[in-house]
């Protein structure tokens, strides 16, 4: 990448002015309820939202995306689900492709009589190069939220996950972790996750939970868990004694922003439907592009708008246009 012409504003890694006792400042909380927040102006964050994010380590933007914004994602998911149904049918694992089942339940229904192992053959999360995922990562409302935090030179990190959290599959529940444990050596800061609910998420279907005010600390020691068959990174238990768990149930289209040190997890899906979500990551353009995780792309640039990657660039794994 050669897009960073000027030094760009970044959030300081060493900045540590906030208490870590896990208790939100009641005065600030009274002024601003993150569960009710909506991003204004097509996604741009208000000063209160930015302050909440800086202090608590996350911010919830209810219904950031509308149905039209989410449709390309759903179309691409449906392509993948069709392929999976076809393969299950061809190999004799199912006798019906369930083509008429709704988006919310079809994948779960396809695997209802199959094992976790059958499901995990397709991955606990998906990172296919399908157009809907590019359109989501390039959605102006999402980029506006990120621009509010890091400025207008934005690189879409190669790590994004479409999560088909299927009922009762153990790998749906994600243990307490910091995303940075997946790239401990990467010299990128901040990496901002934009976690997008593609259906309503709640306690029953395993919504996201965060531990507030954990976002400015070192990477805590962790291990790879051995319960789900996928080796999620999991923070060692000695760090979790005083964990403060804040569940974040949100309606479809909502986004939850946090950085790669914010401790978070999700619970199992005990409902009958799939808890579809997609977690995206963004960072300033002058940071480590983490090529070992794949090819990210220049998602927005006020300095070099001509270099912003198109769908064709992304499909060809070119990080920039031209
Ligand atoms: O979606 C989930 O259940 C977990 C998400 C997560 O761990 C992440 O986005 O890093």
- pLDDT tens-place string over residues 256-296: 999 999 999 999 999 999 999 999 999 999 999 999 999 99
Task: Calculate how far, in angstroms, residue 93's C-alpha sits from the geometric centre of ligand 1.
Answer: 29
Which residues neighbour 123 within 8 Å (Cβ) at sequence distance 6 or greater?
none
Read off the DSSP letter of residue 201.
B
Q: How far is CA 14 from CA 119, 233, 314, in A?
A: 42, 24, 34
Q: What are phi and psi of 11, to 5 degrees?
A: -80, 135
Identify the pLDDT of residue 167.
93
CB of 234 sitting under 6 A from ligand 1: no
Res. 149: pLDDT tops 50: yes
Nearest to 78 by CA among 130, 25, 28, 117: 130
Neighbours of 98 (CB within 10 A): 18
pLDDT score at 41: 56
What's the whole-number mean pLDDT along residues 143-155?
97
Taking only the tens place, the pLDDT of each residue in 8-31 is 333 333 333 223 333 334 334 334
For residue 163, the ligand 1 atom closest to its alpha carbon is 1
Band (pLDDT 50/70/90 cuts) for residue 100 is: very high
Q: Is 269 in the pocket of ligand 1 (CB under 6 A)?
A: no
Distance 199 CA to ligand 1 centre (A): 14
Q: Are the C-beta atoms of residues 282 and 156 closer than 8 Å to each other?
A: yes
Q: Across-strand partners of 276?
A: 164
Nearest to 178 by CA among 218, 237, 118: 218
Identify the residue whose C-alpha is closest to ligand 1 atom 3: 266
What pLDDT, on the 0 to 100 scale, is given for residue 37?
Answer: 54
pLDDT confidence of residue 98: 98
Question: Does the pTM of the predicted model rise above 0.75?
Answer: yes
Q: Show Cβ contacts of residue 121 under 8 Å, excluding neighbours closer than 6 positions.
A: none
Q: Mind listing the pLDDT tens digit for each residue in 46-97?
A: 999 999 999 999 999 999 999 999 999 999 999 999 999 999 999 999 999 9
Residue 28 belongs to what H/E stretch? helix 26-31
**pLDDT reported for residue 168:** 83
Ligand 1 probe mutation, 162, 234, 279, most atoms within 8 A of CB: 279
Give the pLDDT confidence score for residue 278 in this predicted structure: 98
- Nearest-Å Rg of the Cα atoms of the chain is 19
Quickly state the pLDDT bin for 171 (edges 50, 70, 90): confident
Is the Cβ atom of 277 under 6 angstroms away from ligand 1? yes
2 C-alpha to center of ligand 1: Å?
31
Give the position of tokens 């997946």: 182
Residue with more model confidence, 76 or 172: 76
For the cut 80, the answer to whether the pLDDT of residue 176 exceeds it is yes
Split at pLDDT 50, 70, 90, the class of 33 is low
Q: How far is the CA of 92 from the centre of ligand 1 (A)?
A: 32
Q: Which domains does the chain have, with CATH numbers?
A: 26-70+124-315 (2.60.120.620)
Distance 278 CA to ligand 1 centre (A): 8
Euclidean distance between CA atoms 266 and 259, whole angstroms? 16
301 lines ligand 1 (CB under 6 A): no
Angle at 114 between CA 108 and CA 116, to 5 degrees: 80
Three-point CA angle 267, 170, 75, nearest 5°: 80
- Per the structure block, which two tokens stand in for 115? 């094992």
Residue ranges of alpha helices (H) inside 122-271 are: 131-137, 140-150
Q: What is the mean pLDDT of the chain?
A: 89
Where residue 140 falls among pLDDT bands split at 50, 70, 90? Answer: very high
Q: How far is the CA of 193 from the centre of ligand 1 (A)?
A: 9
Token duo for residue 158: 């190669």
Ligand 1 contacts CB of residue 162 (under 6 A): no
228 vs 146, higher pLDDT? 146
**221-242 tens-digit pLDDT:** 999 999 888 899 999 999 999 9
Looking at residue 53, its pLDDT comes to: 97
Going from the Cα of 260 to the center of ligand 1, the distance in angstroms, rounded, reads 11
Angle at 114 between CA 113 and CA 118, to 5 degrees: 165
């Amino acid at each position: 990448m050669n897009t960073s012409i000027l030094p760009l504003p970044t959030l300081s890694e060493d900045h540590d002015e906030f208490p870590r006792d896990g208790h939100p400042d009641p005065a600030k909380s009274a002024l601003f309820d993150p569960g009710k927040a909506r991003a204004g102006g097509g996604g741009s964050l208000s000063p209160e939202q930015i302050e909440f994010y800086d202090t608590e380590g996350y911010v919830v933007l209810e219904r950031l995306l509308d149905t039209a914004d989410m449709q390309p994602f759903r179309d691409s998911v449906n392509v993948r689900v069709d392929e999976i149904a076809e393969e299950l049918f061809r190999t004799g694992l199912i006798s019906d492709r369930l083509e008429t089942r709704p988006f919310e339940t079809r994948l779960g229904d396809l695997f209802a009589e199959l094992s976790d192992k059958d499901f995990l053959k397709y991955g606990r999360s998906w990172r296919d190069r399908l157009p809907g995922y590019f359109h989501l990562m390039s959605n102006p409302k999402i980029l506006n939220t990120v621009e509010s935090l890091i400025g207008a030179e934005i690189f879409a990190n190669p790590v994004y996950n479409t999560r088909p959290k299927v009922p009762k599959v153990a790998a749906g529940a994600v243990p307490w972790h910091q995303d940075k444990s997946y790239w401990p050596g990467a010299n990128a800061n901040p990496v901002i996750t934009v976690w997008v609910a593609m259906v309503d998420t709640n306690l029953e279907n395993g919504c996201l939970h965060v531990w507030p005010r954990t976002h400015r600390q070192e990477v805590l020691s962790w291990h790879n868990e051995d319960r789900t068959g996928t080796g999620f990174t999991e923070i060692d238990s000695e760090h979790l004694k005083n964990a403060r768990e804040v569940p974040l149930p949100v309606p479809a289209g909502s986004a939850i922003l946090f950085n790669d040190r914010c401790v978070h997890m999700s619970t199992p899906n005990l409902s009958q439907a799939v808890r579809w979500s997609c977690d995206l990551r963004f960072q300033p353009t002058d940071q480590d592009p983490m090529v070992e995780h794949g090819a990210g792309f220049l998602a927005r640039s006020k300095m070099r708008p001509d270099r912003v990657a198109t769908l064709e660039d992304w499909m060809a794994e070119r990080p920039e246009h031209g």
